[in-house]
Amino acid sequence: MNQRFYDVEVFWRWSRWLKSRRVQRKNAYFGFTQKKFGVNIAAAYYVLHLGGSFRFTDQSEWVHANSRGKFSYNFLNTPDSTIEEVDLSRTLINHNGLDNIVSQKTLRSLSVQGCPNVDDWFLARLHVFGESLQELDVSHCPRITVGGLVALQHLRKLRRLDVSSLVGVSSPSLVRILLEEMLPLCEVTGAEYDQGFVQHDSMGQLKEDTWLETRSFPVCIYPAGSEPRLAPSHSGEFLFLQAA
């Protein structure tokens, strides 16, 4: 529609600009909070402001906002506690927002699952946590590609990495093998070894009942003229494709 009507084009541009402004505001630098309360409280407040949750090093409960968006300000009483684990899944964080968290040198676990603005530049900035980060979850982030995953080589203490459902990575199983070579002590989850592979038999035809795990549901390809057979381990929704 916006190719035919200038008004529609203007509305579209406007809404895009408003969205990008919202992301910018969510990732602004909390300089005033840092100066007034210290870097730890600023980082904690920033995580809560985005809608995430965190856990301090010396405490065992997670601090997060309730369903109405309200959170307690108890973290103001402990200005010296650094953050150990952060869960920022499904928030609007991007590489600018990391400015507020880079001060937490004891960060052990970070989860940015399902964040639409986490891209390769975000991963490139994670090198500051090279001495402390042990768990990282970047699954379901649509903007991450292999070029960003290579930046994870600086995280030498990484022990668990979750790279499931990365739309930008075209060969997940190969990338998993390469990541395991790059970080030998790290356990990489989320990409099966046979993911993305289509098996052929000697005639070059698709094998009977080849199972392909796609991101949303399994696909069963069965040869023409026969009935699809369901393996006992698979249940739920399937997409049936008949090979010609």
Partner 1 sequence: YTFMTGSCRLPRGDLLYLEGQFKAIREKAAAAMPGTDWSPVELRRDLPPDRADIVVVGGGVIGWSVAYWLKKKERVRDGVRVLVVEKDPTYSEASTVLSAGGIRQQFSLKENIQLSLASVDFMRNINEHLWVLNEDPIDLQFNHSGYLFLASESVAHIMEENYVTQREHGAKVTLLSPAQLKERFPWLNTDGVVLASYGLENEGWFDPWSLLNAFRRKAMSMGVFHCHGEVTGFTCTTSSRETEDGDVLRIKRIKYIDVKMPDSREYQPVECAIVINAAGVNSGKIADMIGIGSGSEHSMAGFSLPVEPRKRYVYVVHCPDGPGLESPFLIDYSGVYFRREGLGGNYITGNSPEETEEPDISDLKVDHEFFQEKVWPHLSHRVPAFESLKVTGAWAGFYDYNTFDQNAIIGLHPRISNMFLATGFSGHGLQHSPAVGCAVAELVLDGGFRTIDLSAFDFKRILQQEPILERNIV
Site for partner 1 in 126-145 (CB under 8 A): 127, 145
Contact 234, 211 (CB under 8 A): yes
Return the residue of 65, 98, 102, 146 that touches partner 1, per CB under 8 A. Answer: 146
Helix (H, G, I), strand (E, B) or coil at 164: coil
Return the residue of 167, 182, 230, 239 that touches partner 1, per CB under 8 A. Answer: 182
The runs of H, that is alpha helices, within the chain are: 6-26, 31-37, 39-50, 120-125, 146-149, 172-182
* CB neighbourhood size of 239 (10 A): 12
Question: CA 191, CA 208: separation in Å to the nearest integer?
Answer: 23
Please tell me whether residue 3 binds partner 1 under the rule CB under 8 A: yes
Strands 83-87 and 53-56: antiparallel
- Stretch binding partner 1 (CB under 8 A), from 40-48, 179-187, 214-222, 236-244: 179-187
Tell me whether residue 174 or residue 241 sits nearer to partner 1 (CB atom). Answer: 174
Please tell me whether residue 178 binds partner 1 under the rule CB under 8 A: yes
Contact 177, 169 (CB under 8 A): no
Return the residue of 121, 197, 211, 238 that touches partner 1, per CB under 8 A. Answer: 121
Please tell me whether residue 99 binds partner 1 under the rule CB under 8 A: no
Return the residue of 5, 11, 13, 72 that touches partner 1, per CB under 8 A. Answer: 13
Please tell me whether residue 148 binds partner 1 under the rule CB under 8 A: yes
**Residue 23, CA distances (Å) to 48, 119, 152 in order:** 15, 14, 24
Please tell me whether residue 20 binds partner 1 under the rule CB under 8 A: yes
- Match 């990489």 to its residue by tokens: 188
Binding residues for partner 1 (CB under 8 A): 2-3, 9, 12-13, 20, 95, 120-121, 123-125, 127, 145-151, 153-154, 171, 174-175, 178-179, 181-182
